[in-house]
Structure 1
Amino acid sequence: MFTYLLTRRCHLASRTMLDSENEKAATQGKLKHDVLVDTLKTQIRSGRYKVGDKLPSEHELARDLDVSRHTILRGLSTLAAEGWIDRQQGRGTFVARRSNPTHIGNQVIAFICSDKGDSVISRVIRGISQALRSRRQEMLLLDSDHNVERERELLESLVDRGVGGAILWPVTAGENRQTIEQLQSQDFPLVMIDHGMEGTSVPLVCVDHELGAYEVTRHLIRCGYKRIAHITFAGLPGELSEAVLEREAGYRRALDEAGLSFDDELIQRVDRNLMRLSHEPMVREMLAYEQAHRLMASENRPDAIFLLNDIFAPSVYRAAVNQGMAIRKDIAVAGFNNDPEACMLPVPMTTYDLPAEQVGFQAIELLNKLVADQPITDQTTRIAGQLMVRNSTVENVAAYCQGI
């Protein structure tokens, strides 16, 4: 009796949803068939009907949604043709394992990113393109423009777009969890880059941020610098990406191994929300200026600064000039990412080169395993980069590299 009442309640909810859709359709000129298709798609996306679930019979759907059996048959035929459902003679109708329209299929992979013009992301795109080319696949590039809501809309559109899977470089850590979990419930192949989603089984491909920060800081220590500051982002642990937390951890590990005491005053934090505006030249000039100025003006100032990101460099260099300090002679600066601007600064900056192309290539490797239902042994794939030594930390780069 309980099962009957629960089933009946679900059917009544479906009827209510269809009535609501019919009201909208009256003004939009939609046919009942179209409304029925949209309603069932919404129920599948929301998780009411999960992959492998058996749908009510045609008679039950017609009765509970108050439409003709002919409309039900047409709607189910459309959903089957688009890959949403699997109709099995003598058994019934089931939600398909992957509700993907077949007009594009697995030959197209989507990449959702926050800024396709970003130098690192553009290199990831290059790696993805190379991997797809060898497999005769194509990429659908979707840019959220640093907008979390736009990212959610793009994620929600993936199934309707008919792509075989997607790679996501999120705007920020922990956002759009519900949408990502819905995609997982539909068994949609998804791989994330840079930021993972704790509590989900979505594979993550990222740079080994902790190792990179450790190597940059250890380089500064080898050069003789002892009071090394770090400029990073502000935020609670749940608000900050793994990249931010792991880079600070690598910095601390190098100090600890060298026997250098950690000083809270040497950590300066920038509002992470400013990152969304960092493509603006004026914002970039001021991004970490206040933090760098505070460090350089302090009584016990640092002799080196490790930057979370190369994007902080213009504002840090500007602060040094305004303090009458020379880069390297008065204060060394090292970054992370190896942005093109790093070697074009007045004093080329030492930084850590991200293996961005490898990250993109590896993300495709994992995604195609998901598409082929092959097991993935490690949920997180970390790829090491390379230290790029320049004049912001050493006077004679060639001599330094020979002496390593």
Structure 2
Amino acid sequence: MNSQFPKYQRLKEEIASWIAAGKYRPGDKLPSENELAEQFGLSRQTVRQSIGDLVAEGWLSREQGKGTFVAKLQGDRRGPGASRMVGLITTHISDYIFPSIVRGVEAALKQQGYRLLLSSTEGSKDKERESLETMLSQGVCGLIVEPTKSAEGNPNYEAFMALEYHGIPMLMINEQYADLDWPCVKVDDEAGGFAAAEHLLAAGHRAIAGLFKTDDLQGVHRMKGFVRAHRERRLAVEPDLIVRYRSEDRDTRPLDALRELLGREQPPTAIVCYNDQLAVALLDVIREAGLRVPEDLSIVSFDDSFLATATEIKLTTITHPKAELGETAAGLLVAMLDKDAGRQARGHVFAPQLVLRSSTAPLADG
């Protein structure tokens, strides 16, 4: 338990986390006050204060002569006059395109009279679970989630289902877990991967390397589009030209792989990067090899972030709506908070666009 808070508050948070994690479900009986006092080394008076607060807040219910039970959160916790706090869980908050997404969500919610509670998983499945538990314990009325490493499954399924059981509407952004049938606001990443590769193929390039982060489904779909563009032209992709990496390896694996590819007797003439952030990092590798962009190597990346125009090489890139995606997600969630709308809300898929800048050029003869 967190030692920064009074003992009764720490016990409250501990019990709320049990409920959020599904350890105790609605209708389950809690340990007695004596048992809790012994387990946590607290007085019965402190335990009674914690339990009383949780009963008053709707988490627990008391039955005379029977004990204390987990209550189902009532729907009116989301109604007028109840909680106006919406939770947003992202993989990151303060870097790359995430601040723009957050601003979009916050602006749209503010217009509708809602406040925003932010949390970041920092790419950790364990922190994602902690964030879900926190959101439930804080009494949010709705939740927007960017799944963490969405291509690696959903070990936090029970925590998500606890939110659903308590009547808290949720939608996902950028991608979604396959085992959760929630609305999702995202970009058509496969179409983006196709457009990136097709642009280079149409310019005469054939030896095109693709570098994709594949522990999230965004990268998986971008890679699928990349491969499909080749197949539709009846071209085989050389296996060594597809570089896959995980989030933990993003600062080493793709850079080392490109160094190796550029050192080959027949190096690639173009590359497709998972995002602008990676493309900017790879520019240093290209300079080290004594090559120029786009004269020796063309580059297409993703997201059209501020990084796409931050260096002397202006990147050709695939758009990501960022703030608009956040605004759309917030608008859909507000609609879901209407009891009549329920879970009937549908997600939204943005069509990506290719933004042409100076990092690509037709393949020179020979």
Residue 389 of structure 1 pairs with residue 356 of structure 2: yes
Does the C-alpha gap of structure 1 residues 207 and 104 become closer, same or farther in structure 2, counting only changes over 3 Å? Answer: farther
2:209 pairs with one of 215, 221, 229: 229
| Matched position secondary structure for 1:111 | strand
Alpha carbons of structure 1 residues 308 and 30: separation in structure 2 relative to 1, 3 Å: closer
Q: Which has the higher contact order (CA 8 A, sep 6+)?
A: 2
TM-score of the superposed pair, with normalisation by structure 2: 0.79
Q: Quick one: distance in 2 between partners of 1:207 and 1:151? A: 22
Q: 1:5-404, aligned counterparts within 5 Å?
A: 41=16, 44-47=19-22, 50=25, 53=27, 78-84=53-59, 95-97=72-74, 105-173=82-150, 174-177=153-156, 178-233=158-213, 240-275=215-250, 283=251, 288-373=254-339, 374-377=341-344, 380-394=347-361
Retained in 2: the 8 A contact 1:327–1:333?
A: yes
Would the alpha carbon gap of residues 98 and 273 (structure 1) be closer, same or farther in structure 2, given more than 3 Å must change?
A: farther
Superimposed CA distance per residue, residues 256-311 of structure 1 (whole angstroms, 9 cap, x where no aligned partner): 22232222121123343134xxxxxxx4xx56321111222222322111111112
With over 3 angstroms needed to count, the CA separation of the structure-2 counterparts of 1:299 and 1:188, relative to structure 1, is same
C-alpha distance in 2, partners of 1:266/1:72? 61
1:96 to partner: Cα distance: 2.8
Contact 1:289 1:318 in 2 (8 A): no
**Secondary structure at 2:172's aligned position in 1?**
strand
Which has the larger share of helix?
A: 1
Say how many residue pairs are matched. Answer: 347
Larger radius of gyration: 1
Give 1:120 deviation, angstroms.
1.3
Deviations 1:299-342 (A, max 9, x none): 23221111111122133222222222111111111101122122
Report the counterpart of residue 13 of structure 1 in structure 2.
none
| Cα distance in 1, alignment partners of residues 135 and 93 from structure 2 | 18
Letter in 1 for 2:106: S
* Paired-residue identity, %: 23
Which moved further from structure 2: 112-121 or 96-105? 96-105
Question: Cα–Cα, structure 1 residues 271 and 43, in superposed 2: closer, same or farther, change >3 Å?
Answer: closer
Q: Secondary structure at the match of 2:179?
A: coil
Given residue 202 of structure 1, which amino acid in structure 2 is its aligned partner? W
Q: Distance in 2 between matches of 1:30 and 1:256?
A: 63
Gap change, CA 1:365 and 1:50, over 3 Å in 2: farther
Return the alpha-carbon distance in structure 2 between the equivalents of residues 245 and 271 of structure 1: 11
- Kindly report the root-mean-square deviation, in angstroms, between the aligned alpha carbons of the 2 structures: 3.9
For residue 54 of structure 1, report the CA deviation from its aligned partner.
8.7
Give the Cα separation in 2 of the matches to 1:261 and 1:210. 18
CA 1:101/1:77 → structure 2, altered by over 3 Å: closer, same or farther? farther
Moved more, 173-182 or 291-300: 173-182
Structure 1 residues 116-162: Cα deviation after superposition (integer angstroms, max 9, x where no partner): 12231111112102211221212122233444433322221112212
CA distance in 2, matches of 1:34, 1:301: 59
Give the whole-Å Cα distance in 2 for the aligned partners of 1:48 and 1:251. Answer: 43
Cα shift readout 1:135-194 (whole Å, capped 9, x = no counterpart):
121212223344443332222111221221221223422355132233233333222222
CA contact (8 A) 1:100 1:160 kept: no
Alpha-carbon distance change, 313 to 138 in structure 1, aligned in 2, over 3 angstroms:
same
The amino acid that maps onto 1:228 is I
Tell me which moved more, 369-378 or 182-191. Answer: 369-378
> SS of the counterpart of 2:84?
strand
